[in-house]
Every structure is written in C-alpha cells, then in structure tokens.
Structure 1
Amino acid sequence: MKLTNISRLAAGVVFVLGMFAASAHAEEPLVIHVGYAAIGVDNRPYSEGTSAATARAGEYLEKEFANDPNIKVEWTFFKGAGPAVNEGFANNQLDFAYQGDLPALIGRATGLKTKYLLASGARKPLYLAVAKDSNIRKIEDLKGRKVALQRGTNGHLAAIKILQAHGLTERDLQVINLDSAGTVAALASKDIDAAFGDTDLINLAAKGSADIVYTTKGDDPRFGRNAGIIGREAFIDAHPDITQRVVDAFVKAAQWSSDESNRSALLELWHKAGTPIPVLDEFFRNDKLAYRNSPLIDDLLVSLYKEQAVKSKEYGLIRREVDLNGWFEPKYLNNSLERLGLQKFWQPYGADGKPVAS
C-alpha cells in the first residue's frame, strides 16, 4: 500500500473517531447544580419555610426538565449555610442557589459573578431563645452572656441590627459561632445562655427545653431576613433559555406556596425536612403565605438589600463597599410572571414598606 493511501486511511480513521467523540460529547447531559444554604434535620436533603424548599420537595425543577433527557438537576444542601454556598459559586460547582442576604452580599463584595433572579424566603422572622429557667427576659439582658449565632448568615446580620436597636453590640456579648444543630445541643445543655435562630429554636421551646423571649414578628420589619435565588453569571449567559425555565419552575413553586388553600399541604411538604408541622405552623402564624413567599424584586426588597450592604460594612462584616448596580436581574422573573399570567398575583411593596397600588 502506498504511503498516500495509508495517510488517507489514517485520516479517515481519525475523522470517524472524531465523529464518534463529537456525538458522545453532544449526548452528555447538562447538569444544573442547585445549592441550598441550609439542610434538614439529621442532614436530610430538604429544607422548609421558603418557596425554594417547595421547589425541592415538590420536584418542580425536575418536572420542568422531565422531557429533556440531556438535562439533569442536582441539589446540594449546605450545613455551612451561605458561606459554603459562596465557596460553591467560587469553585464553579453551583449554577443556582438559595442564599440569604448577608452571604450573597459578601460574595458580591469579594467579586463573585452572580445575579439575583428572584426572592425566596423574603421577610423571614428571627427568634431569640434562652436556656430554660434563665433570667434573661429581654434583649438588653444579653450583655455579657454566651449567645450563639451562625456567623456570615443573614441571621447574623439581623441579630446585630436587633442588638444595636437595644443599645448593644456584638462586643457586649460572648458570641459563640454555631450551626443550627450545634446551637440546639448547646442551648438544651445550657452550655450557652441564649441563641438567635428560627424553627429549630421554636421546636426546642415546644419540647420545654428553652424559652422564646423575642421575635422580630410584630417588630420593625427591617429587622427581618431576606433571601433569594442567585444564579452564576457565566451559566446564565451561556444558557439563557434554561435559566428562564429554572426561574419558571421557582415561580410556579412560589405560586403554589402562596395559595392559602394549600397551607396544610405546604406544611406537610416542608415536613420532609424533619421540622414538626406544629413548629412550621407557628413559624407562619399570622403571616399571609403570599407575603412570605413572594418572588418579587420590588422596591422594598431592593431597599433592604441596599441597607444590608451599608450595615454590613458599618458592622465590619464586609471590608469594602458593595456595588449592587446590575446585580438584580428581574428580566427572567418578569418573563415568568407574564407567561404564567401572574403579573398581579403578588402585592409589591414600596421602600417604605407600604403596599404599592396596582
């Protein structure tokens, strides 16, 4: 065989192999990595209290892509909460995530390329629980005491704002950095005097092992916590159509979570995370589901994030100014609201906290 024929044969083999490789590569599934800045009881891969938790427990994203065999959805729940989510984004291991305001702002300040796509878990209350038989009756009584909170989370920032409103700072306390599970154990054993948190503390009090002495419910709404669905900018730019469908799925979950006729079913769904239903019922008592589960990026939400950015730097939680220009990306949310006929489903609020007229 002549050399030229051998060369042609070799070239043909390379071409065929290349075609097979290209075909195999084309059939590789696209995995959408979704993170959640919390984890269920005993490390269950679920959470509660937000429309994002509904999306997970109700498999809204999985159903959205059920007819797309080349698209897969993988969820990761983080015991390390918001700071761990930032690590996931920094290492390109996450495409979307549910995350609280403070860690999202820290990520923005440190250069993470993300976009805020819709609210989820907005206006969540914070609770202060104290050890059983404690003489702590009010916020001012925390001075000099051992108080647990999870640093770098939206609960951390909310706690500082509450302390400031009552004439205290973090330095006036012995702050112990603990996650939810560690907080419950330490408070039950009285290794700490008090703790800031939410459903875990309500549950501990219901068992008679602690007492709730304060909640932001009924107090200044700016003491509450906010969160949302954050997307990795590179993924959004590369897959705008898929991003739209992801947002569609989260909006559908928010709609179902906001319907009062679904309240009992909603609490049952969230119970997959291991939180008792009576505790979830207490967590949402006197709150309209649509108020807590709204996905809207309204003036109130934006103003709260801007305030949190300023406060975070003021309290030394962030070292540099946080530029929020261009971070909020309502395009996909607005498309979903229009496509699903939900433009008037949720009540928008102004920066003053008052409802905005339609």
Structure 2
Amino acid sequence: MVAISRKRSFLMFLVAGVFTLSTSLVGCSSQTTEKTAVTSSNIKTKVLKMGYQSAGDIVKVKGVLEKRLKPLGISVEWSKFAAGPQLLEAMNVGSVDFGFVGETPPIFAQASGVPFVYVASSKPGTGEGNAVVVEKDSPIKTVADLKGKGLAFQRATAQQYFVVKVLEEAGLKLSDVKHVNLTPLETRAAFERKSVEAAVIGDPHLALFQKTGRVRILRDGKNITTQGGYWLGSRKFVKENPELVKAILEEINNIGKWAEENPREVAELISPEAKIDVPTLELVSKRRLYTLRPLSEEVLSGQQKIADLFYEQKFITKKINIKDATLSPEQYAAFTPTDVKP
C-alpha cells in the first residue's frame, strides 16, 4: 500500500504462511549468505519456541535453526497452528516466541493487548495464491452475486482483509454476505462437502482445487494491494535476545534467496511433510516472494491504514497505533541482517 515516506526506516520483513523460511542451503544458491557470530552469553533463553502454520515450513523441514543454535546450547521447539490468530493466542500465553502471520492477525492481536512486536516483513506474492471460489457449476457468476450468500473464511486472518477489498470492488460490504467463520482446513472441508456456497481459499489448498478443475475463481488477489506478511516476536523475547533474533532472521533471509531461485527444489523439500504433490507445491512456490525487506515508514503506514479500516468497519472495538507494536530504529538496526534490501 502506498503511504507517506520518511527517511527513517523501521527494519523488518516476512516470508509467507504456507512456507516460513530459513537457511543453510548455502552452496545451493548463487546468492551470498550472511551469518553473524553469536555468543551464548548474550542470549537469555535455552529454548526457542517457534510457531508455524500448516502445509510445511522450509525453516523447520531443513532444521537450519537447530543447526545454527545447537553449538550455543539452544534447542528449538516447533508448534503448529491452523492460522495466524491461533499462533498469536499462543504467543500471548508464552507458548510461542516467534512466528509468521499475514497482515491481519497482528491488528486483531494488538487490539486485544497481545504483547508482541513486528520483527520483519516481506512483499506480497503474485496474489494468485488466494481467491474467492465457487463450485464449477455454481449459479454464482460474479462477486456481486455473493450478496446474501454464505462465504466461508476465518475471521482475523489475512483472508478477512482480502475479502473486504474484493467485496468493496464489487460495491459490497462484509455485512452483505453471510460470513461462515472457519479455519482454512475447515473451509476446505466445508467446500468439498458443498456445505458453503462460496469460500476464500488460499494456497496450497487453492492450488490443489485448481488441479482438480472443480472450482471456478470469482476473484483472486492479483492486482489487489496487500501488505504481505510479518514475522512477529513476543516483546520480551525480542528485547532480551537481539543477537538470537538476528541469527533467526539471517537464516530466514538466506533461505529466502535460495527459494526464489529454486521453486522446484522448495516443492521437493516440503512435499513429504505437507503430503502434497511436487508440481502443486511448485506452483505455490512460484506465487510467493520469500526474501525479507526493510520495515519502512511506507510499510508501517500501510499496516496502519488496514487497522484504521477495521476500526471504522467495527471489526475491532479499539483504535490502535501500529507503532505501539514496534521497537526503536536502533533496536531494529541491531538485529536486521545487513543484506536485507527494500
């Protein structure tokens, strides 16, 4: 989203929900990699609690964090969540230190008082990995036809913002449809049972449906401006462990460079754990961008616009300032990899 620019940048970045990234595939990529020396004396935890979402995670699959942190006496625990809201609920109670979500979950979490900070951001992908779909033979032909119909997606996820923009484009509001609040997996199951008239489906589920030829896309995310996603950390964890955070982000960014050059290899890595065929996952990978970008004033301003929109539409009951969930420029500079570029 376009916003007022300012010279000072809050540095951050992302990798997306389906594949959260990491590195140690050095030698597989023509890109240079960054690994800063880390000393255990400056780290105040012995266990890194990582949250991730369904459908495979390159960071987890490759075990790069374990390899990087084992010499420091730090172990890594992984917890899997259906979507971003559940991950942030776990962060709120101290079960997760670090994880990746889309642009919407942090807004709801901040409004609810979850003590997290934005750590990193990345650009959105092609937009083709998220879509409003109906059955191929459905009488619903356009987004405008959704008025009064049931539409399944999970509240407080990136899908909610996507739906708002899609409906707005067709002259509708969210209140014009019958929202069925389901997790991504539940949405897929409901759609397969034909118990919902329409659904918001994201990759990898969307790519799987497209392979079967049974769905018709009313509108995908192409040319709809979104923020992308964010790596978040609990405020206490990030403030106490800047060197550890930098090591984590270096791994994420390094593997991100490799992933953007090697979508087929990404698919082959993830396929066994995701239990999805390689060609489908290759399509998913090609729709994504993996490398990190600075969290600039423009990015923060774009996120603030979404928060303001959600407050205006009464999705959240409290007006929030996104910058209340950020750190100082000096703190970001301390843990942001030097090779992260706009």
Q: Same fold (TM over 0.5)?
A: yes
User: Which residue does the alignment assign to 1:215?
Assistant: 220
User: Which residue does the alignment assign to 2:199?
Assistant: 195
Q: Give the TM-score, by structure 1 length.
A: 0.74
User: Which residue does the alignment assign to 2:209?
Assistant: 204
Deviation per residue, 1:1-20 (Å, 9 max, x gap): xxxxxxxxxxxxxxxxxxxx
Shift of the 337–210 alpha-carbon distance from structure 1 to 2, 3 Å rule, reads same
SS at match of 1:158: helix
- Structure label with greater radius of gyration: 1
Displacement of 1:127: 0.7
Indicate conservation of the 8 Å contact 1:124/1:226, yes or no.
Answer: no
User: Which residue does the alignment assign to 2:152?
Assistant: 148
Q: In structure 2, how many angstroms separate the alpha carbons of the residues matched to 1:179 and 1:273?
A: 17
The one-letter amino acid paired with 1:166 is A
Shift of the 108–337 alpha-carbon distance from structure 1 to 2, 3 Å rule, reads same
Indicate conservation of the 8 Å contact 1:114/1:327, yes or no.
Answer: yes
SS at match of 1:65: helix
Structure 1 stretches lacking a partner, 5+ long: 1-27, 41-45, 47-52, 349-358
Shift of the 121–188 alpha-carbon distance from structure 1 to 2, 3 Å rule, reads farther
Shift of the 293–306 alpha-carbon distance from structure 1 to 2, 3 Å rule, reads same
Q: In structure 1, how many angstroms separate the alpha carbons of the residues matched to 2:118 and 2:257?
A: 19
Displacement of 1:333: 6.5
The reply to whether residue 87 of structure 1 matches residue 92 of structure 2 is no
SS at match of 2:196: coil
Q: In structure 2, how many angstroms separate the alpha carbons of the residues matched to 1:110 and 1:33?
A: 22
User: Which residue does the alignment assign to 1:50?
Assistant: none
SS at match of 1:322: coil
Q: In structure 2, how many angstroms separate the alpha carbons of the residues matched to 1:225 and 1:143?
A: 27
Q: Percent of aligned pairs with the same residue?
A: 24
Q: Give the TM-score, by structure 2 length.
A: 0.77
Q: In structure 2, how many angstroms separate the alpha carbons of the residues matched to 1:123 and 1:299?
A: 20
The reply to whether residue 302 of structure 1 matches residue 307 of structure 2 is no
User: Which residue does the alignment assign to 1:78?
Assistant: 81
Structure with the bigger RCO (C-alpha within 8 Å, sep 6+) is 2
SS at match of 1:133: coil
Indicate conservation of the 8 Å contact 1:247/1:336, yes or no.
Answer: yes
Structure 2 stretches lacking a partner, 5+ long: 1-43
User: Which residue does the alignment assign to 1:275?
Assistant: 276
SS at match of 1:325: helix
Q: What is the aligned length? A: 293
SS at match of 2:294: coil
RMSD: 2.4
SS at match of 1:337: coil
User: Which residue does the alignment assign to 1:103?
Assistant: 105
SS at match of 1:127: strand
Deviation per residue, 1:24-66 (Å, 9 max, x gap): xxxx971110112x213xxxxx3xxxxxx32222222112113
SS at match of 1:66: helix
Indicate conservation of the 8 Å contact 2:300/2:323, yes or no.
Answer: no
State which of 314, 317, 336 in structure 1 corresponds to 2:315.
317
Displacement of 1:293: 3.6
The one-letter amino acid paired with 1:33 is K
Matches of residues 24-43 of structure 1 in structure 2 within 5 Å? 30-36=46-52, 38-40=53-55
Displacement of 1:155: 0.8
Q: In structure 2, how many angstroms separate the alpha carbons of the residues matched to 1:56 and 1:165?
A: 38
